[in-house]
Each structure stands twice: as C-alpha cells, then as structure tokens.
Amino acid sequence: MRIRLTNIREIVTPVCPDLAVGDNMNHLTVYTDSDIILSDGMIESIVHRNQSHPDVDQVVDAENSVVLPAFVDSHTHLVFGGTREDEFNLRIQGKKYMEIAAMGGGINSTVRATRMEDEETLFEQAVRNLRDMVAHGTATFETKSGYGLDTETELKQLRVIKRLQDTQPVGIKATFLGAHEIPTEFRNRKEDYIKLVCNEMLPAVKEQGIAEYCDIFCETGVFNIDESRTILRKAKDLGFKLRIHADELTPLGGGELAGELGAVSADHLVHVSGTGIDKMIQAGVVFNMLPGTTFFLMSDHFAPALDILAANGILALSTDFNPGSSYTHSMPMIITLACLKMGLTIEQGINAATINGAYSLGLQDVTGSIHPGKQADLTFLDAPSYKFLVYNFGVNRVRAVMKKGKFIFQKS
Ligand SMILES: [Zn+2]
C-alpha cells in the first residue's frame, strides 16, 4: 500500500535521522515544495510536488498542514488512580507540600488510590489520558509504574502498561519505578523496603518481562546516592536499562551516578552539577528535561539546558505527566516552556521533543524524524509555519496525528 501525502505547507524534520547534538541541534530541515511517499506505513521518500511517482494507491490531502515528526514523550507516569486537583488548589494558595502530605495528600494519596483501583479502571483512566496526549501530537511514550510501592500493585501497574502496549495504536516503552518513594508502612525501615525492591520486585518484574527499564527517585529524603546505586546495580545485573530521576530538588549527585552506572537517561536535572554534566556526557547519558514540572511547582529555577547544549550534551524534553507535579498532556506546552524558561530556540525545542526523545528510548531507527526507512509517525499542524507551535502558546494547533501511516487522531 503506497500513499502520497500532498498539499503540505512545510515538512519539518531534525537534520540527522539518529540524534540531534552539537550544531545539528540548532537546525531543522524544512521542505516547502514537497510531498511524502509512504509505503506500508513507512516513509519511502520525500519528492518534489511536481514529480510524478508510479504505483501510488492513495493520495491523502494534508490540507496545507505543517507536518512534523510526531512527538516522543520519553518520561510519563500514565497509570495511576485518582487525581489531585484539590491539592493543586491548596498549593497555589501557598500551602506547603509537608502540610498537604500531613493532610493525607501528596504522592501517598495517589499510592492509596492506585492500590485500591481495579485493573480495568486504571486502564480506562490511562487510555483517556493517552488519547489526550495523542491529540496534542505525541505518538510514542515511555511510562512507569511507581504508585504501587508494593509488589502486587507495581505488577498491576505494569500489566496495565502491557495492555496499553497491546491495544493502543502508539509506541510505548515500560519502566519499573518501585523506588519512587518510601511507602508509609516502611517509613521507619527504609532498608527493608530497599531489600523488597531488590530481592522481590525486580526479580518478579524481570521474570514477567514487562519492563525494559528501571528508574528511581534519587533525591534528598527519598533514596540517597548509595541506596540508589544499590537498587540500580541490582537492576543492571538483572539486565534492565537504567533511567534516573536525578537532581530535581537538591544537588544530590544523581547526574554523577547516572554517568557512573551508564544510565540511558537522567531526568529533571534542575540542580545537576558541573561534574555531573561532565560524567553524563562522557558516558553518553541523555539529559531529559521536564520544565512542566518546575513550572507547575511554581519554581523559577529551571534546569540548565543551555549549559548542556554548550557542552554538546544530548538534550531531550518530556511532559513528566503525573497527577501531582505535572498534570499536562501537551508536548507543545513543554516546548514553549523550554523556550521561554530555559532559553531554547524553537528548533532546539523541536529536536529535543522528537529525535532526542526517540534516541533516549532506543527508537531512533524507528521514529523521531522524517527520513526514509522510518515509520510514518507524523503530526499535522494547522499553522502558517512550525514556529507557531511555540509562538502561539497555550493553544493546540494539532490537526491530526499519524502512527505507522494511519491516522490515530483527527480533529473533528
Ligand atoms: Zn517522573
């Protein structure tokens, strides 16, 4: 089945098919006079508008859209029970996190709700959120457990993720995040919880083959560097690839640990040190930045994206979609925040949200740019140019989203 995608205002893609780093990060390739030929869901070629092509089965009118690679959201928490809008309302009135936690809010309220909810309800809620994210242009996701904090519920969350992988028309990579927080019942015996993660949860997740990555919340008051190293080493020994929530709230040294252990990605990095940056670059760790979280937590201290780019680090952007610290479905909003709050250009923002997200998930051969041989994972914008993605802030300009050559969202 060969499709010709015509009437495209701009085809916009990262320059290289594998990664945007160094000067390539500053550029996008833009075609203003071309069509895309798709063959069996894959990108076959980009041809001039006037160039004829034999054997086209179907012509699809892009309605003068700007066509970009569909976004790759490489850090989300999609599966959870309940929502925390009342807590948000208290937070914006100045209530401190500790006060909210003492009132029964915070991450432990999501843990309680996730433990209580049956698998079907968790699945349905995750599907609703996933569809809203697709409607904002994303077609590939990483998503995590981490709201169970007991073996049974962590496995339940991962089974829901597996069901999303099997039923939803998007790409999904699964991550085990049993070390997201210390559950209330282990508050005074953290070592026992670490043993539970290492000796029971990780082997069970491995045996069921339902997560590719292991992640941890390495943070002051949660898991310190030594504890994080213990858990991540065990995960690595079992064959998991590593991701780390690092240096989000305090400069604890998560960036250094990510470099030391050869993690695929370290995420947040608001307080990453110079040494952490060096070690991550030496080890090729992706710097995954989540400005939506900083914004939603009402901080003015954003991650040092420009330092990473100056040092030729690999920069990705993600939503960190979760019920507490970043309740947004929108990658365009994240790119806007990255530009306005971290100083990225529009081109850098789009590269970080597409090809570099794909790279961080090992999917750079499959998605993240518009190059022959990749899946036709495309986002169609109703806009005069790709720059309106950021310039027209807070507005969803996404008209349609395609995954493997099939529309998975079309604005009605
Ligand atoms: Zn997160």
Whether the CB-CB separation of 49 and 292 falls below 8 Å is answered with no
| Residue 263 CA to ligand 1 centre (angstroms) | 16
In this prediction, residue 380 carries a pLDDT of 98
Tokens of 374: 């990749």
Task: Give the pLDDT confidence score for residue 408 in this predicted structure.
Answer: 98
pLDDT at position 175, please? 98
Residues whose CB is under 5 A from ligand 1 (ion)? Answer: 320
Compute, in angstroms, the gap from residue 215 CA to the centroid of ligand 1.
Answer: 9
Domain ranges of the chain: 2-69+368-410, 71-360
56 Cα–ligand 1 center, Å: 44
Whole-number Å distance, alpha carbon 398 to ligand 1 midpoint, is 25
The rounded Å distance from CA 225 to ligand 1 centre is 18
Please, what is the end-to-end C-alpha distance for the chain in angstroms? Answer: 26
Q: For residue 395, report the distance from its CA to the centre of ligand 1, in Å.
A: 24
pLDDT at site 119: 97
What is the reported pLDDT for 139?
A: 98
Residue 410 alpha carbon to ligand 1 centre in Å: 29
- Residue 101's pLDDT is 78
Residue 98 pLDDT: 75
At the topology level, CATH places domain 71-360 in TIM Barrel (3.20.20)
Q: How far is the CA of 55 from the centre of ligand 1 (A)?
A: 46
Mind listing the pLDDT tens digit for each residue in 349-380?
999 999 999 999 999 999 999 999 999 999 99
Q: How close is the Cα of 288 to the center of ligand 1, in Å?
A: 11
Distance 322 CA to ligand 1 centre (A): 7
CA of residue 294 to ligand 1 center, whole Å: 12
Query: How close is the Cα of 178 to the center of ligand 1, in Å?
Result: 12
CATH class assigned to 2-69+368-410:
mainly beta
Distance 290 CA to ligand 1 centre (A): 9
pTM: 0.97
Kindly give the distance from the C-alpha atom of residue 299 to the centroid of ligand 1, in angstroms, as a whole number.
Answer: 17
Q: Which segments of the chain have a pLDDT < 70?
A: none
Residue tagged 């690092």 (tokens): 246
| Ligand 1 center to 34 CA (angstroms) | 39
Q: How far is the CA of 143 from the centre of ligand 1 (A)?
A: 9
From the CA of 59, how far away is ligand 1's center (Å)? 41
What's the per-residue H, E or C state across the chain? CEEEEEEEEEEEEECCCCCCCHHHHHCEEEECCEEEEEECCEEEEEEECCCCCCCCCEEEEEEEEEEEECEEEEEECCCCCCCCHHHHHHHCCCCCHHHHHHCCCCHHHHHHHHHHCCHHHHHHHHHHHHHHHHCCCEEEEEEECCCCCCHHHHHHHHHHHHHHHHHCCCEEEEEEEEECCCCHHHCCCHHHHHHHHHHHHHHHHHHHCCCCEEEEEECCCCECHHHHHHHHHHHHHHCCEEEEEECCCCCCCHHHHHHHHCCCEEEECCCCCHHHHHHHHHHCCEEEECHHHHHHCCCCCCCCHHHHHHCCCCEEECCCEECCCECCCCHHHHHHHHHHHHCCCHHHHHHHHCHHHHHHCCCCCCCCCCCCCCECCEEEECCCCCCHHHHCCCCCCEEEEEECCEEEEECC
Same fold, 2-69+368-410 and 71-360: no
pLDDT recorded at residue 99: 83
If you measure from the C-alpha of residue 291 to the centroid of ligand 1, how many angstroms do you get, rounded to a whole number? 12
pLDDT at 222: 93
CA of 383 to the centre of ligand 1 (A): 31
Distance 222 CA to ligand 1 centre (A): 14
